[in-house]
Amino acid sequence: MGRGRAHRVTGSPDRGAALWQRFDAAVADLNRAGAGTNLLEVARAHGLLADVAGELAVEIERQDLASGVLGAGRRQRRSA
């Protein structure tokens, strides 16, 4: 994990900066939980990471649609 920064190459440097910080923190939390033996903490950390990743995806899509990078016709949602 810990690849949050690698995905920030598109757009402005502050593109969703607050969400990327939350994503990075969630990855760090999952790494800490994964080093332990408490499965409930690991599950909680996975859930947090999923929530933040979903919020980040929505924000990036919103920005791409607004800027024209992603045409409205190309928008495709997949259910989780």
**3-class SS at 70?**
coil
pLDDT value, residue 6: 44
Residue 70: the pLDDT is 79
What pLDDT, on the 0 to 100 scale, is given for residue 71?
77
**What is the predicted pLDDT for the residue at 9?**
41
Instruction: Give the pLDDT confidence score for residue 69 in this predicted structure.
Output: 84
Helix axes 39-67, 17-34, angle to 10 degrees: 160
Instruction: Using only the alpha carbons of the chain, give its radius of gyration.
Output: 15
Quote the pLDDT of residue 67: 85
Q: Where are the domains of the chain?
A: 4-72
pLDDT < 50 positions in the chain: 1-11, 13
pLDDT at 80 (0 to 100)? 57
